[in-house]
Structure 1
Amino acid sequence: MARKYSRKASADVRRAMKKRKAGTLKSGRSGRTVKSKKQAIAIGLSEARAKGKKVPKKARKTTKKRKTSKKRKAKK
């Protein structure tokens, strides 16, 4: 099975995780200290993407379609 991320991208994630553990990893515009492991991984992958390393594209958010019931239609 092929690697999902390149070794260099993994190194970027590893660096972000170490910074998080040290308490020096900051998030985006707000500049707040990152405490979540998931957020640290996301920051590492985002930086790797920006550098042009082999990282899959971000997963798209799926939106739920709102079902319109007969009662709703009747009220209008």
Structure 2
Amino acid sequence: MARKYSRKASSDVERVMKKRKAGTLRSGRSKKKVTSRKQAIAIGLSEARAKGRKVPKKAARKTSTNRKTTKKRKAAKKR
């Protein structure tokens, strides 16, 4: 079976994870310090995509099926 992510993409993510651990990783426009492991991985994959590395497309955003039930609960709480 073929690799989903290229070796270069893996090294990009690894580099970003090291920056996060060192405390020097910053996010997008806000330049806030990144502490979340998941966010660091997302940044690494995003950079790898920008460089044209072999990385799968972003997963489609799932819509919440519980939206109606949560609205009902909130309305019931207000009463």
TM class by shorter chain equals: 0.7 to 0.9
- Structure 1 segments of 4 or more deviating over 3 A? 64-67
Question: 1:12 corresponds to which residue?
Answer: 12
Per-residue CA deviation, residues 28-62 of structure 1 (Å, 9 max, x unaligned), is: 11100000111100000000000000000000102
Greater C-alpha radius of gyration: 1
- The separation in 1 between residues aligned to 2:51 and 2:27, in whole angstroms, is 18
Q: Report the AA paired with residue 7 of structure 1.
A: R
Q: Report the AA paired with residue 5 of structure 2.
A: Y
Question: 1:63 corresponds to which residue?
Answer: 63
Question: 2:76 corresponds to which residue?
Answer: none
TM normalised by structure 1 equals 0.81
SS in 1 for 2:27: coil
SS in 2 for 1:19: helix
More helix by share: 2
SS in 1 for 2:5: coil
- The separation in 2 between residues aligned to 1:64 and 1:26, in whole angstroms, is 30
TM normalised by structure 2 equals 0.78
Of all paired residues, the percent bearing the same amino acid is 78
Where does structure 1 lack aligned partners over 5 or more consecutive residues?
68-76
Work out whether 1:41 is the aligned partner of 2:45: no
